[in-house]
Chain A
Amino acid sequence: MYYLGVDLGSLSCDAVLLDHEGKIMAASVVPTGARNREAIARATQEVLEMARISEAEIKATISTGYGRDRVEGRLAAVTEITCHARGAHALLPGTQVLIDIGGQDSKAIRMDGGGRVLEFAMNDKCAAGTGRFLEAMARALQVDIGELCELDLGASKNLTLSSMCTVFAESEVVSLIADGVEVNEIVAGLNRAIASRIAALVKRIAPDVAGLKVAMSGGVAHNHGVVRALSSALNTEISVPQQPDTVGALGAALVARERMLP
């Protein structure tokens, strides 16, 4: 028997399939797009095909993410806060502070080292510092979002952006480009701005992270530049699992398995 976790986020729909022992059989990430149901079906189909099993062999499904209530056939919907904590604990045992930056929100989660959530804080009603923010900045810079990861390398001018509002920051980036500022300097400035905002969120749940095991999940964790800037802002090492964008779906699958255990 198998356990499925589905994380329907604003930018991507992720699925993770576990076997009865909790081993990861398959993971999938597809763009959410405008049609949630299609994204869920596609992500699910992909993991089923990778694992070469039929849907009937799934014993339980847990959904998570902002669209968690739209996943049909689920055993239950569990929030992404709980699921990311579970997933991070499985991949990086002992994690005490988890930073999850998703498509439209960011979260700082304080954990007890055993995967249990002690406290959490989420971004205010603003997409600054999230995946959407980076998408807008990549558009302004006329680069692919995937390219942003290393574009900060070699920057030395310690440029700061005065606004974290997505709209204003986009205008500022356009002005900087027009002024002839090097792209790597702008990207480094953007990363520092995001890091400063996320560090403030982290400090709400862990005023001092010294000595705590800090990890990061969510699609933005693929961006090494942001991770570096955040690590510098918090003055600590940040661990990132190999597939940071499927941590929530993994957590959901783990919860599905736990709930079905006798």
Chain B
Amino acid sequence: MMKQLFDDMAADMEARLLDHYTARLRFTLENARLCQRLYSDTHRLAWCGVCAPFDLLNAMGISSCFVEYLGAVFAAAGSAGQFLEEAEHAGFPTDSCGWHRAVIGAAAKGMMPIPDVMIATSSPCTGGVAAVEHLARTFDCPLYVLAIPPDDSESSVRYLADQIRHMVDFVSAHTGEALDDDRLRYAMHKTNEAREAAIEMFHLAQRIPSPARAADLRNFGITLPLFLGTEAAVEIAQAYRDEFAARSGQGISGVQGERFRLMWLQEAIQFRHPLIKMLEENYQAAIVIEELDDIYWEPIDAEDPYIGLAQRTIAFPFNGQADRRLKHIKKLVQAYKIDGAINPCHWGCRQGTGARGLIGEALKELDVPVINLEVDCADARNFSEGQLRTRLEAFMEVLDSRPGRRSTN
């Protein structure tokens, strides 16, 4: 059933792309293709944590994805509720992370493909490790845990690089798929090509007015790594770069008459809701950047990739102490000339709700207000549009009345 759904979705997008090619559609097509592979019986499959080196797995011919992604797919499709309930019936608390509850419930209901191997990553959250461990037990599947050090000292990088090497051997032993040197080299070249194009694309998004809008970049930064090491990632990043360059060249902004430049922290609300449209249409507020829309890592040495992959993994903004994340947020706020930030404070997430005070303080130093929404980004059952609308509208009124702006209040 799911396979058919994604087959139809991919076919529809391929047809639409022939008619009208857009970067977002190309990106969405690749997501549909990934889902096709995940739900086909013809590919080796690895369910992972967020920070797994997907380019390596792609080079091995393993279809791989972080488990939270599937929770987001269910939420976007409006079907997460039944899986969340299933997990709750099994005893998982309603205030635990919705992404993890959704996939745990889906696995219990037989709606999650059975993997050949699982790879947990200790970053960005220990909840993710626990969820992957639980799923590995559910599937009776071999599990490898990448323990990602919080710091980038030489010994920490070497420690993680050795683990990644060992992970490749582990995956190979359990799937029968070897990592050949030429495929590895090719994958790293593709990763670096995608990186270059993404850097250019993000520079363009920083322009005033920005050619980017929320619908373009939604989930881009968190999802692009799934396609790294392949030509698809290069095509997607280049398509965005070219589209942003064309828009900028023609003086077209992502949100017509851009008045406010906003940053969305952590992850997007995945189920359908009208709040972004309301911000764009009623306030000409453009979400020009999501927190993970950034290239924070150096090119990978194709001849000796493991050190570079380890450095990239450690540099993930959510890894280690909150300082790294705060520094990253501040860098983006300054680069994108952000007027205000929206923190969804995803329920049950220690990164999301736990860091909100620290984020508020850090942004105050830059005189950038932040609004905390307190929403479960996965669970539409707890969504209260009126409450969030009031918070966001009041936030826009605060931004609008700040000195230097012509107030409309």
Contacts and interface: CB of A to CB of B under 8 A. Distances in A.
Interface of A: 66, 78-82, 105, 116-122, 124-125, 255, 258-259
16 contacts: A66-B390, A79-B394, A79-B397, A81-B397, A82-B394, A82-B397, A82-B401, A117-B397, A117-B401, A118-B398, A120-B398, A122-B390, A122-B391, A125-B384, A255-B409, A259-B408
Interface residues of B, number: 16
Contacts of B372: 121
A105 B394 contact: no
Contacts of A120: 394, 398
A105 B408 CA distance: 25
B386 interface: yes
B155 interface: no
Nearest to B356: A204
Contacts of A105: 387
Given A78-B409, A124-B374, A125-B374, A66 B397 contact: no
B369 interface: yes
Contacts of A124: 374
Contacts of B391: 122
Contacts of A119: 369, 398
Interface of B: 369, 372, 374, 382, 384, 386-387, 390-391, 393-394, 397-398, 401, 408-409
A66 B394 contact: no
A176 B393 CA distance: 42
A122 B409 contact: no
Nearest to B390: A79
A80 B390 contact: yes
8 smallest beta-carbon distances between A and B, as pairs: A81-B394, A79-B394, A82-B397, A79-B393, A117-B398, A116-B401, A82-B409, A79-B390
Contact of B397 (A78, A121, A258, A259): A78
A125 B382 contact: yes
Nearest to B369: A119
Given A66-B386, A78-B409, A82-B397, 17 more contacts: A66-B390, A78-B397, A79-B394, A79-B397, A80-B394, A81-B390, A81-B397, A81-B398, A116-B401, A117-B398, A120-B394, A122-B387, A122-B391, A125-B374, A125-B384, A125-B387, A255-B409
A117 B391 CA distance: 13
B41 to A, nearest CB: 42
A105 B374 CA distance: 14
Contacts of A82: 394, 397-398, 401, 409
Contacts of A116: 401
Contact of A117 (B386, B394, B408): B394
B86 to A, nearest CB: 23
Taking each of B387, B394, B401, which has the highest tally of chain A beta carbons within 10 Å of its own beta carbon? B394
Contacts of A118: 398
A215 B386 CA distance: 26
B210 to A, nearest CB: 26
A80 to B, nearest CB: 7
Contacts of A121: 372
Contacts of B393: 79
A116 B394 CA distance: 12
